[in-house]
Amino acid sequence: MAEPDHVTGLETRGTLEAFLARSGAAASPLAAVMCDVVGLKAVNEREGFSAGDTQLRTAADRLRIAATNAAILARLGGDEFVAVFAGPQAAADAERTVSNLAADCLPPLRAAATVQKHGEASGPLIDRLYAIVRRS
pLDDT value, residue 102: 86
Contacts with 34 (C-beta within 8 Å, 6 or more apart), sequence order: 76, 80, 81, 82, 111, 112, 113, 126, 129, 130, 132, 133
DSSP symbol at 67: T
Buried b (16+ CB within 10 A) or exposed e, 87-123: eeebbebbebbbebbeeeeebebbbbbbbbeeeeebe
According to the model, what pLDDT value does residue 132 have?
A: 82
Task: Write out pLDDT tens, residues 68-107.
Answer: 999 999 999 899 999 999 999 999 999 999 999 987 667 7
Rounded percentage of the chain residues whose pLDDT exceeds 70: 91
Domain coordinates of the chain in residue numbers?
13-135
User: pTM of the full predicted structure?
Assistant: 0.89
Q: Which CATH superfamily hosts domain 13-135?
A: Reverse transcriptase/Diguanylate cyclase domain (3.30.70.270)
